[in-house]
Structures are given as C-alpha cells and as structure tokens.
C-alpha cells in the first residue's frame, strides 16, 4: 500500500479516536453534582425498595417506582411525625429533611414502574 495513503488512514483513525473520547468526556460531564446528590439520596432506599424503587418480585416491601410524588412526600412526612405507624419507615424518615423528601419523591415519581 502507498505509505502516504497508510499515514492518512492512521491519522484519520487517530482523529476519530480523539473525537470519540471528547464526546465521551462531554457526556460524562453532563451528570452534574446535583444529579449525583439526588441519585445518592434515592439509592438509600434501594436496599429495601429495589433499584430505582422497583421492588423485586414477591417482595414484602412495596415498590415505590412511579408512585405520585405527592403521595410519597405525604407518607414520608406521616412516617416522620409518627402519624403513620410502621416497622422501619418511621425511623428512617426522620433522617431526611422535608426538602430532601421532596427531592427523593420527585426522583421516584419520574421512574417508570
């Protein structure tokens, strides 16, 4: 093969690699600190309610994925105040500010069931 041709092809591949790594970096940067914060908060519910609030089949813990945000917020506040008796949620809910509860509720409400 013509050496000039090969060099051009190599340069072309290098340019594609550079561009794709730039694109990857741009994508990685689109996850903001705030989004990470929201995901971390929501992840604290995953042990019992499942990843993204989707409980595993036959789980005794309810799925919270796709529940209306207003309902989740209301229940969390009721657990927190003791108005709704529970086995664990009344203790857990106390660990979150009202603002964090709204953030978490919006996160799960936006998840598809």
Confirm or reject binding of residue 65 to ligand HEC (CB under 6 A). no
Contact 104, 95 (CB under 8 A): no
Nearest-approach distance from CB 87 to ligand HEC, in angstroms: 3
Confirm or reject binding of residue 78 to ligand HEC (CB under 6 A). no
Which residue shows structure tokens 């978490």?
A: 104
Please say which residue, 2 or 40, places its beta carbon nearer to ligand HEC. 40
**Interatomic CA distance for residues 77 and 7, integer angstroms:** 66
**Interatomic CA distance for residues 8 and 44, integer angstroms:** 52
Nearest-approach distance from CB 33 to ligand HEC, in angstroms: 20
State both tokens at 9: 């092809």
**Interatomic CA distance for residues 111 and 18, integer angstroms:** 35
Q: Which residues from 15-44 bind ligand HEC, rule CB under 6 A? A: 44
Confirm or reject binding of residue 58 to ligand HEC (CB under 6 A). no
Backbone φ, ψ for residue 25 (5° rounding): -60, -40
Confirm or reject binding of residue 48 to ligand HEC (CB under 6 A). yes
Interface positions with ligand HEC (CB under 6 A) = 44-45, 47-49, 61-62, 64, 72, 75-76, 86-89, 92, 104
């Amino acid at each position: 093969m013509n050496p000039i041709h090969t060099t051009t092809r190599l340069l072309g591949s290098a340019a594609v690699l550079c561009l794709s790594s730039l694109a990857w970096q741009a994508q990685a940067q689109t996850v903001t600190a705030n989004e990470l914060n929201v995901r971390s908060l929501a992840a604290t519910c995953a042990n019992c309610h499942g990843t993204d609030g989707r409980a595993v089949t036959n789980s005794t813990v309810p799925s919270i994925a796709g529940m209306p945000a207003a309902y989740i917020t209301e229940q969390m506040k009721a657990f927190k105040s003791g108005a709704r008796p529970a086995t664990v949620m009344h203790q857990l809910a106390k660990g979150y500010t009202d603002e964090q509860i709204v953030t978490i509720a919006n996160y799960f409400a936006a998840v598809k069931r």
